[in-house]
């Protein structure tokens, strides 16, 4: 009996950024997806008239992951400590506590909970790791995402 070779997950890099003119204010998000083996890229961006920078950072990752058609090994490359640490460190505790967090000795709902819950579902579909880069430090894809996100925010200004 022949054995089927194990299918290897495709590896993709997801570069993301969010921008906001004021906080809250008009905002934009952007992502670039790159299939590592082939070098093929896709990109998209969007925005909202009144939002926050954290929401735009979350939507960049959410929309980038939604663009994937099948399960993948994903490296999310972002300058958002909020998204990276939230996904890797804070979310498990938030879920365990009913999507609440301690603040000043009291339980408070997690901010942007609906986006965190969407992100949680998307992360469970893939093998994901986060890589933090410094914003505005010359990282080519981060700078490109920043330009796209700023352009989207400007549409609503």
Q: Active-site positions?
A: 17-18, 57, 79, 136, 146
Q: In sequence order, what DSSP letters do the residues of the chain get, joined into one string?
A: -PPPPPPPPPEEEEEEEEEESSSSEEEEEEEEEEETTT--EEEEEEEEEEE-HHHHHHHHHHHHHHT-SS--EEEEEES-HHHHHIIIIIHHHHHHTTSEEEETTEEEEPTTHHHHHHHHHHHHHSEEEEEE--TTS--HHHHHHHHHHHHHHHHH-
């Amino acid at each position: 009996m022949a054995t089927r070779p194990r299918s290897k997950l495709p590896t993709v890099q997801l570069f993301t950024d969010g921008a906001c003119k004021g906080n809250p204010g008009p905002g934009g998000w952007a992502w670039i997806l790159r299939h590592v083996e082939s070098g093929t890229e896709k990109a998209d961006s969007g925005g909202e008239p009144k939002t926050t920078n954290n929401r735009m950072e979350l939507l960049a990752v959410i929309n980038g992951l939604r663009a994937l058609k099948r399960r993948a090994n994903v490296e999310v490359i972002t300058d958002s400590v909020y998204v990276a640490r939230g996904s890797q460190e804070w979310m498990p505790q938030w879920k365990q506590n009913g999507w609440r967090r301690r603040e000043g000795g009291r339980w408070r709902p997690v901010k942007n909970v609906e986006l965190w819950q969407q992100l949680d579902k998307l992360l469970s579909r893939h093998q994901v790791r986060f890589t933090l880069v410094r914003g505005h430090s010359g990282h080519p894809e981060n700078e490109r995402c920043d330009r796209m996100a700023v352009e989207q925010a400007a549409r609503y200004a």
